[in-house]
């Protein structure tokens, strides 16, 4: 079982007058097959936390441990923009992040491309695909390394509402099939309520303000009353914490 443990994590950028606190003393424990959303206003340190967890950035202080059954866990990452190599085909983009190019690895990549409905686009270049398809490749790439934990940084924020909705469903199906631990950054409360078991609310200055449990069965339809009520409750919480700009 995967576990993400964050203890006393702080991150600052710049020095002196230019000093900006991105994260302040964040403590967190995420365990097992859960879908956890990190929500909060822009600049509250959500993406910074994800970057530190995935090793792109180093913390100023504090400790991060990501384990899977007492060994170091392998993370996968889905970015805001797909971040594909434009000069490599769809299949080569997946193979780029693999440890080898064996037949078995190729078959695995093919399997995940089929899961995102791009099994027939393996030889295409990213420039030949739509934005939604590119993001699908990004999702397949993250799943294809069969990671223990998955970090996602606003993966649907660049897409139109209809594409984003169908991708959310695909992602959720994949999550339920593969039983990964997911940390999902979003600024869309509706998206967080639709997808997550747990919502971590961040405030400006990088403080973790609240940890909300959403105990509703999956799949959730945003049009359903229970889901709408849950969304309203989370938004009320935002108001209580003064996170909604007037």
- By the criterion CB under 8 A, which residues form the site for another protein? 54-56, 75-77, 79, 81-88, 96-97, 125-128, 131, 134, 141, 145, 151, 158
Q: Of the two residues 105 and 197, which places its CB atom closer to another protein in the complex? A: 105
Closest CB 81 distance from another protein, rounded Å: 4
Phi, psi (5° rounding) for residue 217? -70, 155
Closest CB 182 distance from another protein, rounded Å: 15
CB 28 within 8 A of CB 36: no
Q: Of the two residues 77 and 202, which places its CB atom closer to another protein in the complex? A: 77
CA dihedral 205, 207, 213, 219 (to 10 degrees): 40
Beta bridge partners of residue 199, listed in sequence order: 37, 212
Q: Of the two residues 53 and 115, which places its CB atom closer to another protein in the complex? A: 53
Q: Of the two residues 155 and 214, which places its CB atom closer to another protein in the complex? A: 155
Q: Of the two residues 106 and 158, which places its CB atom closer to another protein in the complex? A: 158
Closest CB 82 distance from another protein, rounded Å: 7
Closest CB 218 distance from another protein, rounded Å: 27
Closest CB 151 distance from another protein, rounded Å: 8
Q: Of the two residues 35 and 77, which places its CB atom closer to another protein in the complex? A: 77
Closest CB 85 distance from another protein, rounded Å: 6
Q: Of the two residues 145 and 214, which places its CB atom closer to another protein in the complex? A: 145
Task: Give the chain as a DSSP string.
Answer: -EEEEEEEEEEEESSGGG-EEEEEEEEEEEESS-EEEEE-STTSSHHHHHHHHTTSS--SEEEEEEEETTEEPPEEEE-SS----TTS-HHHHHHHTSS---HHHHHHHHHHHHHTT-TT-TTS-GGGS-HHHHHHHHHHHHHHT--SEEEEESTTTTS-HHHHHHHHHHHHHHHHHHT-EEEEEES-HHHHHHH-SEEEEEETTTEEEEEEE---PSS--TTSHHHHHHHHHHHHHHHHTT-S--
Closest CB 164 distance from another protein, rounded Å: 15
């Amino acid at each position: 079982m995967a576990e993400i443990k964050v203890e006393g994590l702080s991150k600052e950028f710049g020095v002196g007058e230019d000093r900006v606190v991105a994260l302040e003393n964040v403590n967190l424990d995420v365990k097992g097959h859960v879908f956890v959303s990190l929500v909060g206003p822009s600049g509250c340190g959500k993406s910074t936390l994800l970057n530190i967890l995935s090793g792109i950035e180093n913390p100023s202080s504090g400790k991060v441990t990501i384990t899977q059954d007492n060994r170091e866990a392998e993370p996968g990452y889905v970015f805001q923009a797909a971040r594909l190599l434009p000069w490599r085909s769809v299949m080569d983009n997946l193979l780029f992040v693999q440890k080898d190019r064996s037949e078995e690895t190729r078959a695995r990549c093919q399997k995940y491309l089929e899961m995102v409905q791009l099994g027939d686009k393996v030889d295409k270049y990213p420039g030949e695909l739509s934005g939604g398809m590119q993001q699908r490749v990004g999702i397949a790439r993250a799943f294809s390394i069969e990671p223990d934990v998955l970090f996602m940084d606003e993966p649907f924020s660049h897409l139109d509402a209809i594409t984003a909705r169908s991708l959310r469903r695909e992602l959720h199906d994949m999550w339920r099939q593969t039983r990964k631990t997911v940390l999902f950054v979003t600024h869309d409360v509706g998206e967080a309520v639709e997808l997550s078991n747990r919502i971590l609310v961040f405030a400006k200055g990088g403080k973790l303000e609240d940890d909300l449990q959403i105990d509703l069965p999956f799949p959730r339809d945003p049009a359903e009353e229970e889901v709408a009520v849950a969304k309203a409750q989370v938004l009320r919480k935002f108001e209580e914490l003064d996170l909604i700009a007037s």
